[in-house]
Amino acid sequence: MDVTKSSSINNVLRDYPETIKVFEKYNMGCLGCMGATAESIENGAMMHDIDSSIIVKEINNLIHKEKK
């Protein structure tokens, strides 16, 4: 299943811990953020003035690469 803009940051990090690299790349300190428990990737990206589609694309690329 692909990650989407509406995916919860917390769920993505829980299900795919390797994705922390993507969040860190964009200075989204999501592991320690209270908002990560309920916030979507789209909302989190907006709070950091980042295009969420870029983050989602990188996350999905990483997840699919790791599965191979």
Q: Which domain holds residue 45?
A: 9-67
Interval 12-22: pLDDT, tens? 999 999 999 99
Q: Is the residue at 3 inside a domain?
A: no
Query: Could you tell me which residue, 18 or 28, shows the higher pLDDT?
Result: 18
Q: Give the lowest-confidence range in 18-22, 52-56, 64-68.
A: 64-68
Asked whether the predicted pLDDT for residue 28 surpasses 90, the reply is no
* CATH code of the domain in which 13 resides: 1.10.3910.10
Does residue 28 form part of some domain?
A: yes
Closest by Cα among 2, 1, 17, 4 to 43: 4
